[in-house]
Structure 1
Amino acid sequence: MTDQPDLRPGEIRAADNSSSSVVDLKEYRQSKDPLPVTFHRRELDAILWIYGRMVGEGEWRDYAIDHLKDRAVFSVFKRSGEIPLFRIEKNPKLAAKQGAFSVINTNGTILKRGHELQQVLKVFNKTLKLVEK
């Protein structure tokens, strides 16, 4: 409520206060709370393909996806109550340097990092080994 009378259509009120300005609400919200980093559909398809294969082999059982302000994380669990076995991270700030994608194990060691997700996910490709008794 203001103590000024309503304006007729087409009338413009003179600004008494120099600090008042019109702000686009959408731009204001994005500047105050930027959108989180997310996985694109093709990236998520590649990750879920690996996840499905590993679930079929009995290696993994659960996953979680986190969309944070600075990175997106796909965490893989053997059991849902434990810490993640692996984290597949997308960090756009590292895209120009070491690559936006990385696979990190339980200890925090980066197993593979790169610019292309398909190349990074090759760390989960297993080779058959002959075991002798």
Structure 2
Amino acid sequence: MTDQPELRHGESRSVDTTSSVVVDLREYKQSKDPLPVTFHRRELDAILWIYGRMVGEGEWRDYAIDHLREKAVFSVFKRAGELPLFRIEKNPKQGAKQGAFSVININGMILKRGHDLNQVLKVFDKQLKLVEK
């Protein structure tokens, strides 16, 4: 089942060589848009666990996830119309140097950076304080 008519005995199909184009594979790969950086399932699991805990405490109310070419960003909001309180970023280009994961506050200051997301997210752990009577 093709769109072309059937050939009779002794006929052959000619190939149109004028429309053939040779493409360098390296140029093709470079010209394609790169895929955006995304959070993996385990990374999102760890982030959403912290998010759920903070929502339960009434500190956070909304979030946004952005997958960009250079990095993935999980932004946390107190209210939807405000600037994000914190941004949890995954930047693979920084992975070999200072670590791919970082937590950034509303002022743009990096609170913690590292190679392991679970260690970076410990910045949100509450420190127990000694209470005297």
Q: Deviations over 1:6-37 (max 9, x none)?
A: 898884525347xx4256xxx95884211100
Show the counterpart of 1:46. Answer: 46
Counterpart CA distance in 2 for 1:8 and 1:109 is: 71
Give the alignment's TM-score, normalised by structure 1. Answer: 0.80
Cα distance, 1:129 vs. partner? 2.7
Written as runs of structure 1 = structure 2, the 5 A alignment for 1:43-82 is: 43-82=43-82
Counterpart CA distance in 2 for 1:69 and 1:52 is: 27
Counterpart CA distance in 2 for 1:100 and 1:65 is: 17
Q: Secondary structure at the match of 1:111?
A: strand
Q: Secondary structure at the match of 1:84?
A: coil
Structure 2: gaps spanning 5 or more residues: none
Written as runs of structure 1 = structure 2, the 5 A alignment for 1:1-133 is: 11=13, 13=15, 15-16=17-18, 20-21=20-21, 31-130=31-130
RMSD between aligned alpha carbons? 2.9
**CA contact 1:87–1:105 (8 Å) conserved in 2:** yes
**CA contact 1:7–1:13 (8 Å) conserved in 2:** no
Q: Secondary structure at the match of 1:50?
A: helix
Give the alignment's TM-score, normalised by structure 2. Answer: 0.80
Cα 1:8/1:99, change in 2 over 3 Å: farther
Counterpart CA distance in 2 for 1:28 and 1:117 is: 34
Looking at CA atoms only, which structure, 1 or 2, has the larger radius of gyration?
2
Q: Secondary structure at the match of 2:17?
A: coil
Counterpart CA distance in 2 for 1:57 and 1:122 is: 16
Q: Deviations over 1:42-63 (max 9, x none)?
A: 0000000000000000000000
Q: Secondary structure at the match of 2:73?
A: strand
Code of the residue aligned with 1:79 in structure 2: it is R
